[in-house]
């Protein structure tokens, strides 16, 4: 299934008048505040968020998996699904692959399928948290941190292979997330585990093409429950610093202990020029991988507030923006449309923060005013602005409604069948 420009227009038609009314009202309010609408719209249009190839099917919990049907069974079908999202919201122009959940075979066909729907390839993710088919030694007790050099070598080779795959597709970054850790005190030596990890990452780093980045993801616990080798941003930052200019920290929003101040982590990493990328999702308890903005939208806004300020005030290079969510209740495509919209909304809210007044309030210790300034932006309903930016890019005013009007899921089920399942978690 491919969505045409005519179909987009037809879904916009019945909503155009009320959208124009809402947008014009908002535009007047924003202009009165001295904001430049054209610039805002341009920034929102330029903001593209990569879709993870593993989020296109119904995700599993360890208790069960309830597929909704019509899932993409091949990498080309996954790319086509992202093409559908991108046609609707013009905001997701790339895919982030996970190897070996995705094993590209016919590269020409893959590149052609991607070009057809205007999709590129963002960071490639390696996977040393599962044994691969036919693997001679197991990652049960870790991969790059493992005490056994033979296992470390398998894991290094896998990461190098992922780089080679990414190169053929035009990716520019390798994301490394290591499950490595321990579940019981005494199980392994913290120092040896970190040292092994560092040495192995060095070897992988040496293999990175000149214009590539290595993004090091951290996570406090799970699948191990006593310790994780790269447990927090500090450990990731330490490794990135030791490795060199091409290594950065990746922040997955779900990878923090409850109530961690993620916006402060973002600010500090940007100050050091080491914020390399994001995995967006939301959570109530742990690494819940829920729809972005569904639980803590204010936190998301505060993170974007630091990002927007950091873009102006630091020389941190543009981070890679990726979603890392998985869904076992909702239609995955609807869920991704919601996530992208939530990200753009938080970005828009941050873009209208009156930074000069905020700096003035901070300088005069006017705490109440600082709060007012942030909340004024957060509580302004900017949905018409986000919709307008998408409409002007040729997308739909109402992604979920359009998705339903165009009977996307029904068509995918017809084309692929009810039993078609995507690879992933
Ligand atoms: C680990 C993680 C990491 C993996 C993905 C599937 O929890 O966030 O990014 O690659 O989930
Ligand atoms: Mn992640
Ligand atoms: Mn995760």
Residue nearest (by alpha carbon) to ligand 1 atom 4: 177
Distances (CA, A) of 31 to 26, 38, 46, 360: 9, 10, 21, 22
State the distance from the centre of ligand 1 to the C-alpha of 230, rounded, in angstroms: 13
* Per-block mean pLDDT, blocks of 10 residues, the chain (425 long): 96 97 98 98 98 90 82 96 98 97 96 98 98 95 98 98 98 98 98 98 98 98 98 98 98 97 98 98 96 98 98 97 92 97 98 97 98 98 98 97 98 94 75
Residue nearest (by alpha carbon) to ligand 1 atom 7: 287
Which pLDDT value is given to residue 317? 98
**Residue 285, number of CB atoms within 10 A of its CB:** 9
Residue 357 is inside which H or E element, if any? Answer: helix 355-363
Q: What is the DSSP letter of 64?
A: B
Inter-residue contact 138 to 131 (CB < 8 Å)? yes
State the distance from the centre of ligand 3 to the C-alpha of 24, rounded, in angstroms: 40
Assign 273 to helix, strand or coil.
coil
Would you list the DSSP string of 12-51? HGGGHHHHHHHHHHHHHHHHHTT--HHHHHHHHHH---BE
The pTM for the full model equals 0.97
Which pLDDT value is given to residue 9? 97
Inter-residue contact 336 to 51 (CB < 8 Å)? yes
Distances (CA, A) of 264 to 260, 267, 268, 297: 9, 5, 6, 16
Residue nearest (by alpha carbon) to ligand 1 atom 5: 324
Q: At which residue do the structure tokens 């559908």 appear?
A: 84
Assign 73 to helix, strand or coil.
coil
Terminal Cα-to-Cα distance of the chain (whole angstroms): 25
State the distance from the centre of ligand 3 to the C-alpha of 52, rounded, in angstroms: 12
> Which residue of 216, 217, 278 sits with most ligand 1 atoms within 8 Å of its CB, as the best mutation to test the pocket?
217
State the distance from the centre of ligand 3 to the C-alpha of 180, rounded, in angstroms: 14
ipTM of the shown complex: 0.99
> Which residue of 177, 216, 249, 277 sits with most ligand 1 atoms within 8 Å of its CB, as the best mutation to test the pocket?
177
State the distance from the centre of ligand 2 to the C-alpha of 83, rounded, in angstroms: 22
Rounded CA gap, 253 and 255, in Å?
Answer: 6
State the distance from the centre of ligand 2 to the C-alpha of 48, rounded, in angstroms: 18
State the distance from the centre of ligand 3 to the C-alpha of 136, rounded, in angstroms: 27
Distances (CA, A) of 130 to 134, 179, 332, 347, 360: 12, 9, 23, 35, 51
Alpha-carbon radius of gyration of the chain: 22
Q: State which ligand 1 atom lies nearest to the alpha carbon of 326.
A: 6
- Domain 18-416 is of which CATH architecture? Alpha-Beta Barrel (3.20)
Rounded CA gap, 84 and 408, in Å?
Answer: 9
> Which residue of 276, 324, 325, 326 sits with most ligand 1 atoms within 8 Å of its CB, as the best mutation to test the pocket?
324
Rounded CA gap, 283 and 306, in Å?
Answer: 20
Domain ranges for the chain:
18-416
Give the residues surrounding ligand 1 with Cβ less than 6 Å away: 54, 98, 125, 177, 217, 219, 252, 279, 287, 324, 425
């Amino acid at each position: 299934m491919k969505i045409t420009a005519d179909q987009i227009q037809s879904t916009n038609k019945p909503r155009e008048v009320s959208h124009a009314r809402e947008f014009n009202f908002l535009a007047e309010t924003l202009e009165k505040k001295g904001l430049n609408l054209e610039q805002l719209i341009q920034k929102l249009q330029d903001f593209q968020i990569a879709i993870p190839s593993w989020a296109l099917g119904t995700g599993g919990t360890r208790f069960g998996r309830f597929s909704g049907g019509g899932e993409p069974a091949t990498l080309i079908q996954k790319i086509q699904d992202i093409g559908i999202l991108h046609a609707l919201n013009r905001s997701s122009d790339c895919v982030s692959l996970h190897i070996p959940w995705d094993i590209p075979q016919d590269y020409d066909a893959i590149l052609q399928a991607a070009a057809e729907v205007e999709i590129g390839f963002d960071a490639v993710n390696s996977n040393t948290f599962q044994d691969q088919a036919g693997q001679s030694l197991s990652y049960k007790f870790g991969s790059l941190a493992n005490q056994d050099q033979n296992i470390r070598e398998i894991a290094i080779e896998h990461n190098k292979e992922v780089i080679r795959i990414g190169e053929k597709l035009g990716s520019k970054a390798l994301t490394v997330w290591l499950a490595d850790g321990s579940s019981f005190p005494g199980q392994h030596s913290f120092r040896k585990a970190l040292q092994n990890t560092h040495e192995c990452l060095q070897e992988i780093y040496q293999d990175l093409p000149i214009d590539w980045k290595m993004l090091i993801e951290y996570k406090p616990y799970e699948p191990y429950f006593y310790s994780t080798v790269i447990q927090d941003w500090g450990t990731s930052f330490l490794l990135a610093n030791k490795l060199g200019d091409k290594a950065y920290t990746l922040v997955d929003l779900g990878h923090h202990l409850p109530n961690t101040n993620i916006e402060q982590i973002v600010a500090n990493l940007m100050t050091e020029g080491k914020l390399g990328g994001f995995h967006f999702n939301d959570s109530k308890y742990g690494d819940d991988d829920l729809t972005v903005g569904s639980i803590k939208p204010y936190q998301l806004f505060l993170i974007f507030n630091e990002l927007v300020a950091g873009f102006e005030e630091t020389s941190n290079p543009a981070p890679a923006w990726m979603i890392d969510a998985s869904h076992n209740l909702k239609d995955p495509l609807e869920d991704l449309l919601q996530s992208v919209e939530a990200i753009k909304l938080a970005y828009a809210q941050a873009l209208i923060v009156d930074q000069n007044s905020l700096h003035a309030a901070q300088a005069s210790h006017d705490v109440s005013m600082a709060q007012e300034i942030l909340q004024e932006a957060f509580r302004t309903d900017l949905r018409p602005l986000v919709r307008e930016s998408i409409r002007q890019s040729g997308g739909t005013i109402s992604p979920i409604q359009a998705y339903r009007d165009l009977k996307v899921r029904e068509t995918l089920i017809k084309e692929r069948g009810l039993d078609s399942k995507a690879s992933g978690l």
